Amino acid sequence: MSSTLVARARQLSAWFHVLLCGLCLFPPWLALAIAIGAGDQRLWAITLEAAPYGLTAMAFAYLYGKKFGDWYLPVDGEKPTFEIVCASCVVSFLAAISTGVCIGLISSVWEGMDGFSIGLFAGLAGYLCALPLILILGGLGGLALTRRLNKLAADLNQAVKPA
């Protein structure tokens, strides 16, 4: 398998998961746009407090999306199955948990394990709230990403051989 194909799959997967994370976190960004448009400084300040959470989640989604980008590669002409939905769920779960733990530990350094557990449960709660959206958008986006990588593999005249 060409390293170009693997690198392209990882890069496309990383940016797809950043986009998916941004779409799942759309309400805070929409609230910020409304606050800026309305000129309400109080609402603007409250919404800006949530910005580090979204940016941290997007950074983790990029890292995990790049790590699991191989899941979208075509395997010897097989039709894609559950892995295109599963990849989005795994990446989103890891990004949500990592973000929750990171923000929990940073915001309460002196509390130790309390911040860790609060962040862990906050990340899990955020993931569970967004899970229906992740399943739908992750499945559709994963299907589009898999088709694109199939075309790229056909252009390179290669397919991944199962081990």
Indicate whether 162 belongs to any domain: no
Q: Give the whole-angstrom CA distance, residue 154 versus residue 73.
A: 11
Q: In whole numbers, what is the pLDDT of the chain averaged over residues?
A: 78
Placement of tokens 């709230």 in the chain: 129
Indicate whether 93 belongs to any domain: yes
Domain that holds residue 131: 3-156
Q: Give the whole-angstrom CA distance, residue 93 versus residue 90.
A: 5
pTM of the model: 0.76
Indicate whether 44 belongs to any domain: yes
Indicate whether 152 belongs to any domain: yes
Q: What is the pLDDT of residues 77-134, one digit of tens each?
A: 677 777 788 888 899 899 988 888 888 777 776 666 666 777 778 778 878 888 888 8
Indicate the pLDDT class of residue 60, thresholds 50, 70 and 90: very high
Number of domains in the chain: 1
Indicate whether 161 belongs to any domain: no
Indicate whether 137 belongs to any domain: yes
Q: Tell me what pLDDT residue 163 has.
A: 47
